[in-house]
Amino acid sequence: MMATGQALTRRDWVKAALAALAEGGVEAVKVERLARSLSVSKGSFYWHFKDRGDLLAALLAFWQDELTAQLIERSADLPTPRQRLETLAQLSLEAESEGVNVAEAEGALRAWAAQDAAAGHGCRLVDQQRIDHVASELALAGLAPAEAELAARAIYLTLLGIYAARRYTPELAGDAPFRAIVAIVLDAAAQSSARAG
């Protein structure tokens, strides 16, 4: 056991990697660079990880298993679909985890996914999962299944657009258009619901 509490853990490296990813993309996630940022040497890294791919896989898993699930959970206990979706929209744009802006990391992840098969697979899974979730909420809000599916994809693509744009124009890609789209779709769902019942 350690007494000083200064020893690094695998999770510390993953968190540092996430911060580097959010700021500079996958290409900024370098072993020696992270070591310097953690004030240790490469020797430490290669004790915790087999190689760089091992770290990247852990980073991807961390994002899939923790960051993503956490968002949905934090909006799950609200009463109406509209409230849940509006909160989810807000969290998607503002959430921070361990001092890292999640939106920045999301944008960098998509860029990574374009070049790496494993990252691409992870993004596809997460995207599908989130779109399904939004579509089911929209169906609860009153949209027909086909409309809900289409609207969910449109909303999610807009979110991805914000993730991409924010990385090079933080102020221009504000969240007003995103909120507007969510509101428009929810209003349409409400009307559809009113007509149906």
Partner DNA sequence: ATAGCGCCATACGCAAGCGTATGGACATAC
Partner DNA sequence: GTATGTCCATACGCTTGCGTATGGCGCTAT
Binding site for DNA (CB under 7 A): 1-4, 6-8, 30-33, 35, 39-44, 46-48, 50-53
From CA 139, how far away is CA 152, in angstroms rounded? 10
Site for its own copies in 87-106 (CB under 8 A): none
Q: Kindly give the pairing relationship between strand 96-97 and strand 100-101.
A: antiparallel
The 5-34 site mask, x for binding its own copies (CB under 8 A), equals -------------------xx-xx------
What does the radius of gyration of the chain's CA atoms come to, in whole angstroms? Answer: 19
* Alpha-carbon distance values, 138 to 96, 144, 158 (Å): 26, 8, 16
Question: CB 112 → DNA: shortest distance, Å?
Answer: 14
- 158 interacts with, out of DNA, its own copies, none, CB within 5 to 8 A per kind: its own copies
Binding footprint of its own copies on the chain (CB under 8 A): 24-25, 27-28, 107-108, 110-111, 113-115, 119-120, 123-124, 127-128, 150-151, 153-154, 156-165, 167-169, 172-173, 176-178, 180-181, 184
